[in-house]
Amino acid sequence: MDLRYNEEDERFREEAAKWMADNLRGDFECLRGAHMPGGPEDMIEERRAWECVMGEAGWIGIGLPKSVGGRDLPLQQQVIFYEEYARANGPHRIGHVGEGLAAPTIAFFGTDEQKKRFLPGILSGKDIWCQGYSEPNAGSDLANVQTRAVRDGDEYVINGQKVWTSGADWSDWTFIVCSTDPEVRPKHKGISYLLVPMDQPGVTTVPIVQITKECEFSETFFTDARTSVDNRIGEENGGWKVSMGTLSFERGASTLGQQLAFAQELEKILEAARENGAAKDPIQRQKLADSYLKLRIMRFNAMRALDGIDGGELDPVQMVTKLYWANWHRDLGELAMEVLGTASDLLNQDGKHDYDINEFQKIFLFSRSETIYAGSNEIQRNIIGERALGLPREPRP
Ligand SMILES: Cc1cc2nc3c(=O)[nH]c(=O)nc-3n(C[C@H](O)[C@H](O)[C@H](O)COP(=O)(O)OP(=O)(O)OC[C@H]3O[C@@H](n4cnc5c(N)ncnc54)[C@H](O)[C@@H]3O)c2cc1C
């Protein structure tokens, strides 16, 4: 593919940059640079309103086909939009699970009725979604989900527990992977994929506090929760394929444009290194240069990878992308701590563990989780080994 931008792309960049400058102001100024919610400055109402402003202007689902309400923009322009979003310091998107995971899944696997029913709410920014996959005993081994859905007329009755559900506290809908036939073997043949409204008595969420002191994710409990049979994507017991399709979107398009945010972080670390003298240290200079080079490689690889997304199979370049960026970012966090030196210490002077964390410490702490979610490092390596390199399969339980 041609990675250069043409004149039309550059015009589009100006349009995107102007839109951000014109809109991320006034009532939304408070959201500039706002990271993931889950702390005292949640600003959920402002973030919801921001999603609607983006939706109204047609900036949600820009890569989806026009036939389902998207803009079918070429990949380069999608990257440009996300870059300009990051350059303007746009807030963490509470709509990203809906836009990046639910919408493409529904567009790819849903019926026409489901597309009509769910996509407008996502693309207008009105409906916020969360992902109900993981459970206490089903993370990497997703097929082991114990949450049960049992048919009751035109509805499913759902009982069970999900965990690490990002954004569950402020979501309107969740898509869950659940068991509809616990006896069948292999287990993934008894799994269904359901869209479930969060606002009902049978669904409760309990926030989990993270080491960064935020709580962006929750435990989610289903106690006789209900959803219509019409809200099942794919066949009953045929949800495995759909759930894998969602993951291929998660490992791909939702990371688009992230590199510009990474580049901004690296720039701040470089600035700190220049200020405190760390940049004069030959070893740290080398590490900073290395980080920059790897970031450039990441950008080109991401664009090559995203060129081939079709919601079904991952191609080999896509398989490397998640592993690459997650480890690069984790290493960046470690490098930031080295650059800060003793100033990276989290303990208060009086030795209490009641700490405040700065931006660099947050990168260091949060980036550990990036090597876990959306497929841990080990799982990514298994995928590369088995599916890209054709090595023998890992023994399965
Ligand atoms: C910040 C964050 C946000 C998240 N948000 C969501 C969300 O919104 N919705 C959701 O459903 N989930 C979410 N998750 C959960 C995430 O998907 C799981 O943590 C992940 O799938 C790993 O599952 P687990 O935690 O159960 O670990 P396990 O699967 O128990 O893994 C434990 C360790 O064993 C290794 N391991 C497991 N199986 C193998 C194998 N076959 N071969 C080699 N090594 C193996 C893993 O790599 C890991 O090191 C989130 C997680 C984080 C950290």
Which helix (H) or strand (E) is 227 found in, with range?
A: strand 217-228
Q: What is the mean pLDDT of residues 238-248?
A: 94
What is the distance in A from the centroid of ligand 1 to the CA of 251?
Answer: 14
Q: What pLDDT does 314 receive?
A: 63
User: Which residue has a Cα nearest atom 52 of ligand 1?
Assistant: 373
Which helix (H) or strand (E) is 18 found in, with range?
A: helix 7-23
User: Which residue has a Cα nearest atom 32 of ligand 1?
Assistant: 140
Chain-centroid distance of CA 289 in Å reads: 28
Residue 183 Cα distances to 133, 179, 190, 237, angstroms? 20, 9, 8, 12
Q: Write down the residue that tokens 């940049």 correspond to.
A: 279
Contact (CB, 8 A) for 330 and 370: yes
Quick: pLDDT tens for 244-254. 999 888 765 55
Q: What pLDDT does 337 receive?
A: 97
For residue 186, whether the previous peptide bond is cis, meaning omega lies within 30 degrees of 0, is: yes
CA-based nearest residue to 175, from 97, 236, 238, 77: 97
User: Which residue has a Cα nearest atom 24 of ligand 1?
Assistant: 139
Confidence of residue 25 (pLDDT cuts 50, 70, 90): very high
Side-chain half-sphere exposure of 383, counting CA atoms within 13 A = 23
The sign one gets for the Cα dihedral 165, 253, 92, 52 is negative
What is the distance in A from the centroid of ligand 1 to the CA of 137?
Answer: 10
What is the distance in A from the centroid of ligand 1 to the CA of 92?
Answer: 22
- How many degrees, rounded to 5, is the angle at CA 251 between CA 381 and CA 258? 115
> For the chain, what are the domain ranges?
7-94, 129-237, 251-388
Q: What is the mean pLDDT of residues 91-119?
A: 96
Q: What pLDDT does 3 receive?
A: 66
Q: How far apart are CA 212 and CA 358, in angstroms?
A: 10
Helices (H) and strands (E) in the chain, counts: 12, 8
User: Which residue has a Cα nearest atom 12 of ligand 1?
Assistant: 134
Contact (CB, 8 A) for 278 and 124: no
Q: What is the mean pLDDT of residues 236-258?
A: 82
| Helices 258-276 and 282-306, axial angle in degrees (round to 10) | 170
CA-based nearest residue to 129, from 166, 77, 88: 166
Lowest mean pLDDT among 24-38, 121-135, 177-191, 352-366: 352-366
Mutate to test the pocket of ligand 1, among 93, 128, 147, 373 (most ligand atoms within 8 A of CB): 373
What is the distance in A from the centroid of ligand 1 to the CA of 195?
Answer: 22
Q: What pLDDT does 256 receive?
A: 62
Lowest mean pLDDT among 38-42, 75-79, 165-169: 38-42
What is the distance in A from the centroid of ligand 1 to the CA of 100?
Answer: 19
Q: What pLDDT does 161 receive?
A: 98
Q: Which atom of ligand 1 is nearest to the CA of 377?
A: 47
Side-chain half-sphere exposure of 53, counting CA atoms within 13 A = 17
Mean pLDDT of the chain: 91
Q: How far apart are CA 299 and CA 331, in angstroms?
A: 17
Residue 281 Cα distances to 52, 128, 276, angstroms? 48, 47, 11
Q: Which atom of ligand 1 is nearest to the CA of 376?
A: 47
User: Which residue has a Cα nearest atom 23 of ligand 1?
Assistant: 139
Mutate to test the pocket of ligand 1, among 142, 323, 370, 372 (most ligand atoms within 8 A of CB): 372
Pocket-forming residues, ligand 1, beta carbon under 6 Å:
130-134, 139-140, 164-166, 217, 369, 372-373, 376, 378-379, 382, 394
Token representation of residue 364: 């260091």
Grouping H, G, I as helix, E, B as strand and the rest as coil, residue 204 is strand
Confidence of residue 213 (pLDDT cuts 50, 70, 90): confident
CA-based nearest residue to 99, from 134, 143, 130: 130
Q: What pLDDT does 199 receive?
A: 98
Q: What is the mean pLDDT of residues 121-133?
A: 98
This prediction's pTM:
0.94
Lowest mean pLDDT among 66-75, 173-182, 203-212, 309-318: 309-318
Residues classed as catalytic = 250
Quick: pLDDT tens for 144-197. 999 999 999 999 999 999 999 999 999 999 999 999 999 999 999 999 999 999
Q: In CATH, what class is 251-388?
A: mainly alpha
DSSP 112-171: HHHHHHHHHHHHTT---EEEE--BTTBSSSGGG---EEEEETTEEEEEEEEEEEETGGG-
Contact (CB, 8 A) for 273 and 284: yes
Q: What pLDDT does 121 receive?
A: 98
Quick: pLDDT tens for 335-383. 999 999 988 887 665 666 667 888 999 999 999 999 999 899 999 999 9
Q: Name the DSSP letter for residue 73.
A: -
User: Which residue has a Cα nearest atom 38 of ligand 1?
Assistant: 140
User: Which residue has a Cα nearest atom 22 of ligand 1?
Assistant: 139
Judge: domain 7-94, CATH 1.10.540.10: yes
Mutate to test the pocket of ligand 1, among 96, 142, 163, 164 (most ligand atoms within 8 A of CB): 164
What is the distance in A from the centroid of ligand 1 to the CA of 372?
Answer: 5
Q: What pLDDT does 1 receive?
A: 60
Judge: domain 129-237, CATH 3.10.20.30: no
Share of the chain above pLDDT 90, in %: 74
Mutate to test the pocket of ligand 1, among 376, 382, 386, 391 (most ligand atoms within 8 A of CB): 376
Q: What pLDDT does 31 receive?
A: 95
Q: What pLDDT does 8 receive?
A: 94
Q: What pLDDT does 272 receive?
A: 97
Question: Beta strand 129-132 with 148-152: parallel, antiparallel or unpaired?
Answer: unpaired
Q: Write down the residue that tokens 């690889």 correspond to.
A: 301
Share of the chain above pLDDT 70, in %: 92
Q: Name the DSSP letter for residue 197.
A: E
Phi-psi region at 352: left, alpha or beta (left = phi > 0; alpha = psi -120 to 50): beta
What is the distance in A from the centroid of ligand 1 to the CA of 128?
Answer: 23
- How many degrees, rounded to 5, is the angle at CA 375 between CA 370 and CA 379? 120
